[in-house]
Amino acid sequence: MIRIDEIWLAREPLDMRAGPDTTLARVVQSFGEARPHCAYLFANKRANRMKVLVHDGFGLWLAARRLHKGKFSWCALREGQAIVLDEEQLQALIVGLPWRQAGGAATISVL
């Protein structure tokens, strides 16, 4: 399997017709660089399609996912800094669940 150390959620929508080179250019534009062992997630404007670009240290992997009903819980993005996700949040996002309630973000620290 491909080692992924960090998962980054982009705020700006991406045209789903974009191939690996265009998506890589967007990663560099949005994040400053494409670091090895990092995954970069993008959604389209309707948030029913997602692309994931992974730099494995040697080359690029580009995957796409589409929801046939509903949309990804991409939050009110469009502006601000990129968001770092953990593995649990990524798994929730991929199946269309509210990822903000998964992983370390769901802990309760004050009663």
pLDDT tens digits, 49-100: 999 999 999 999 999 999 888 888 776 555 667 788 898 988 888 888 888 7
pLDDT value at position 105? Answer: 55
Alpha-carbon distance of 34 to 39, in angstroms, equals: 9
- 8 and 60 in contact (C-beta within 8 Å)? no
- Could you state, in order of their start, the residue ranges of all structural domains in the chain? 6-106
pLDDT value at position 26? Answer: 94
Neighbours of 85 (CB within 10 A): 23
Confidence at 108, pLDDT banded by 50, 70, 90: low
